[in-house]
């Protein structure tokens, strides 16, 4: 066996692993036979994604609803269907431009040679997706990878089995499996996936699992994009309109019941405006969801384990004396795993809710004395995936932008920078490595190959040995 032979998963343990090995070999072979799909073939693949998303809209809505217990229909339509289709359309519109070789200036002493950067498909790309937006987070990276001319294998989360099966069938109805396919299975299939020598692996999930993914991929030197989580702060400046900030934060935190990687995790509010902030967020939440026990517009928590985890974060803070403000609490909610928005006012610094990503509708609100204090608080923790800043003071805003490092920022609202497809989306530090969306996604899944076209009039032979006194002068 060659010393640098690829590290591959132990074969044949589960159905998922056997299927993975088969599909990977098939796609590798197909890639070797046709390594550079044309513009037309890529457009056809993007059209397949659009068709399968639109044709299966109702089936996807139903499957995700079944997986969550209750998933607001409009949330699935907007955050899964519309986002996917518009991402594919934007990619189609720009693909010709992105595929073009890019010029690079050639220094005077190298002329008349020419230099170019030529985007090239990487080969077979693996995508591991989470349960929280199970369609969007499987298909958005697939769109970028297919646009860049790759073949794609997707491993959805085992926590959304209905969606995983529906997606598998939908993809199979449009794609030859040598181009794009879904592998279902549990954590062991996920592990085998990360040990497979893909040409690039994009993982969306928790920071803890992301570390394991990076470790396993490193055995093959498989390049990874890690889209992870973290504690994303919402900073309300002295200069902010509290009602406007509160509406935005309540929406960002209650969309998908807070199970959004870029949801505001906690709020930093001016010390003398904490009560007003809590009241305004409560009012905004009540207005959006006047009856959360009966409405289908409020999404359930994905599993009993996550439900219990979120409840225990609240109980620990309550036991330690923090004030708890629960909006629209009712026991009728619990069998549906609906958790009302629950604010925790000024929890102890070492409370569990301030140490881990919350990923649910639990919202700590902390008093803060100044912009500097807010910056210091954010910088004490890991670099967050998102940061939200609300206010009118340009000086305070710029200070926060300059002195904090986060994956992305929305000023005076929440979540929007992620929806803007022309902005790169990704984390930094513990919240992720690499980025995608728009042209950044195309570049992530391409080898941007530098090519130097030497001129036949070149004088580089002057540098060849034997070295002479003349060469020393160059």
Q: Does 137 bind ligand NAD (CB under 6 A)?
A: yes
Site track 168-187 with ligand NAD (rule: CB under 6 A), x = hit: -------------------x
Task: Look at residues 91, 98, 94, 84 and name the one whose alpha carbon lies nearest to residue 51.
Answer: 84
Q: Does 56 bind ligand NAD (CB under 6 A)?
A: no
Task: Look at residues 422, 437, 385, 431 and name the one whose alpha carbon lies nearest to residue 234.
Answer: 385
CB of 306 to ligand NAD, least distance (A): 8
Q: Examine the residue annotation and report whether 11 is marked as an active-site residue of this protein.
A: no
Closer by beta carbon to ligand NAD, 61 or else 428: 428
**DSSP secondary structure string for all residues of 30-72:** HHHH--S--HHHHHHHHHHHHHHHHHTHHHHHHHHHHHHS---
Q: Examine the residue annotation and report whether 227 is marked as an active-site residue of this protein.
A: yes
Q: Does 84 bind ligand NAD (CB under 6 A)?
A: no
Q: Of these, 385, 396, 428, 433, which contacts ligand NAD (CB under 6 A)?
A: 385
Residues 6+ apart with CB under 8 A from 62: 162
Q: Does 410 bind ligand NAD (CB under 6 A)?
A: no
Q: Does 233 bind ligand NAD (CB under 6 A)?
A: no
Q: Of these, 205, 270, 424, 441, which contacts ligand NAD (CB under 6 A)?
A: 205
CB of 21 to ligand NAD, least distance (A): 16
Q: Does 196 bind ligand NAD (CB under 6 A)?
A: no
Number of residues that bind ligand NAD (CB under 6 A): 28
Closer by beta carbon to ligand NAD, 261 or else 278: 261
Q: Which helix (H) or strand (E) element contains residue 128?
A: strand 124-128
Q: Binding segment for ligand NAD among 162-170, 198-206, 369-377, 408-416 (CB under 6 A)?
A: 198-206
Is the dihedral angle over the CA atoms 381, 385, 390, 392 positive or is it negative?
A: positive
Task: Look at residues 197, 184, 192, 174 and name the one whose alpha carbon lies nearest to residue 125.
Answer: 197
Q: Does 421 bind ligand NAD (CB under 6 A)?
A: no
CB of 76 to ligand NAD, least distance (A): 15
Closer by beta carbon to ligand NAD, 191 or else 248: 191
CB of 31 to ligand NAD, least distance (A): 23
How far is 428 from 449, CA to CA, in rounded Å?
Answer: 25
At 466, is the secondary structure helix, strand, or coil?
coil
Q: Does 132 bind ligand NAD (CB under 6 A)?
A: yes
How far is 327 from 263, CA to CA, in rounded Å?
Answer: 18
Kindly name the residue from 17, 174, 180, 261 that is annotated as catalytic: 261
Task: Look at residues 179, 138, 178, 166 and name the one whose alpha carbon lies nearest to residue 48.
Answer: 179
Task: Look at residues 290, 298, 415 and name the one whose alpha carbon lies nearest to residue 361.
Answer: 298
Closer by beta carbon to ligand NAD, 79 or else 341: 79
Q: Does 165 bind ligand NAD (CB under 6 A)?
A: no
Q: Of these, 194, 220, 256, 371, which contacts ligand NAD (CB under 6 A)?
A: 194
3-state helix, strand, coil in the chain (%, to 5): 50, 15, 35
Q: Does 227 bind ligand NAD (CB under 6 A)?
A: yes
Kindly name the residue from 17, 19, 80, 227 that is annotated as catalytic: 227
Q: Binding segment for ligand NAD among 3-11, 124-132, 164-172, 315-323 (CB under 6 A)?
A: 124-132
Q: Binding segment for ligand NAD among 154-162, 335-343, 390-398, 451-459 (CB under 6 A)?
A: 154-162
Is the dihedral angle over the CA atoms 405, 411, 414, 418 positive or is it negative?
A: negative
Closer by beta carbon to ligand NAD, 391 or else 427: 427
Question: Which residues is 104 bridged to in the sheet?
Answer: 115
Alpha helices (H) in 404-455, listed in sequence order: 416-419, 438-444
Q: Does 121 bind ligand NAD (CB under 6 A)?
A: no
Q: Of these, 427, 434, 438, 441, which contacts ligand NAD (CB under 6 A)?
A: 427
Task: Look at residues 264, 273, 182, 178 and name the one whose alpha carbon lies nearest to residue 229.
Answer: 264
Determine how β-strand 124-128 pairs with β-strand 224-227.
unpaired
Q: Of these, 357, 382, 421, 439, which contacts ligand NAD (CB under 6 A)?
A: 357
Q: Which helix (H) or strand (E) element contains residue 387?
A: strand 386-390
CB of 346 to ligand NAD, least distance (A): 24
Torsion from C-alpha of 441, 446, 447, 451, nearest 10 degrees: -100
Give the catalytic positions in this structure.
227, 261
Footprint on this chain of ligand NAD (rule: CB under 6 A) = 128-132, 137, 155, 157-158, 187, 190-191, 194, 204-206, 209, 212-213, 227-229, 261, 357, 359, 385, 427, 432
């Amino acid at each position: 066996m060659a010393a640098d032979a690829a590290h591959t998963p132990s074969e044949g343990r589960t159905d998922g692993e056997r299927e993975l090995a088969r599909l990977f070999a098939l796609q590798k072979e197909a890639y070797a036979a046709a390594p550079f799909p044309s513009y037309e073939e890529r457009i056809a693949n993007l059209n397949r994604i659009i068709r399968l998303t639109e044709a299966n809209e109702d089936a996807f809505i139903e499957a995700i609803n079944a997986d969550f217990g209750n998933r607001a229909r409009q949330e699935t339509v907007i955050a899964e269907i519309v986002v996917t289709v518009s991402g594919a359309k934007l990619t189609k519109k720009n693909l010709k431009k992105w595929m073009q070789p890019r010029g690079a200036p050639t220094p005077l002493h190298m002329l008349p040679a020419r230099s170019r950067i030529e985007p090239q498909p990487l080969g077979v790309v693996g995508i591991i997706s989470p349960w929280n937006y199970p369609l969007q987070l499987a298909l958005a990276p697939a769109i970028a990878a297919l646009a860049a001319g790759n073949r794609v294998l997707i491993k959805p989360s085992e926590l959304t089995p209905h969606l995983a099966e529906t997606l598998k069938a939908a993809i199979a109805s449009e794609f030859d499996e040598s181009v794009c396919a879904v592998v279902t299975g549990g954590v062991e299939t996920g592990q085998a996936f990360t040990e497979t020598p893909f040409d690039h692996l994009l993982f969306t999930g928790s920071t803890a699992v992301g570390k394991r993914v990076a470790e396993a991929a490193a055995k093959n030197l498989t390049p990874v994009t890690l889209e992870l989580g973290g504690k994303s702060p919402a900073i309300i400046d002295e200069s902010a309109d509290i009602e406007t900030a509160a509406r935005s934060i309540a929406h960002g935190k209650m969309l998908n019941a807070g199970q959004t990687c870029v949801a505001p995790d906690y709020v930093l509010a001016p010390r003398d405006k904490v009560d007003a902030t809590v009241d305004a967020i409560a009012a905004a939440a009540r207005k959006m969801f006047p009856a959360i026990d009966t409405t289908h517009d409020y999404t359930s928590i994905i599993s009993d384990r996550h439900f219990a985890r979120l409840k225990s974060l609240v109980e620990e803070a309550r036991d330690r004396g923090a004030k708890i403000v629960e909006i629209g609490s009712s026991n009728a909610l619990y069998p549906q795993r609906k958790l009302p928005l629950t604010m925790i006012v000024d929890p102890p610094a070492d409370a569990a809710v301030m140490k881990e990503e919350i990923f649910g509708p639990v919202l700590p609100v902390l008093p803060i004395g100044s912009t500097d204090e807010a910056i210091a608080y954010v910088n004490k923790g890991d670099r967050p995936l998102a940061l939200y800043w609300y206010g009118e003071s340009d000086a305070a805003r710029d200070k926060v932008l300059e002195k904090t490092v986060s994956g992305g920022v929305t000023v005076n609202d929440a979540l929007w920078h992620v929806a803007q497809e022309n902005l790169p989306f990704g984390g930094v530090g513990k919240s992720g490595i690499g980025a995608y969306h728009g042209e950044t996604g195309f570049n992530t899944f391409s080898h941007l190959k530098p090519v130097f076209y030497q001129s036949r009039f070149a004088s580089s032979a002057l540098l060849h040995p034997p070295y002479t006194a003349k060469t020393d002068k160059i």
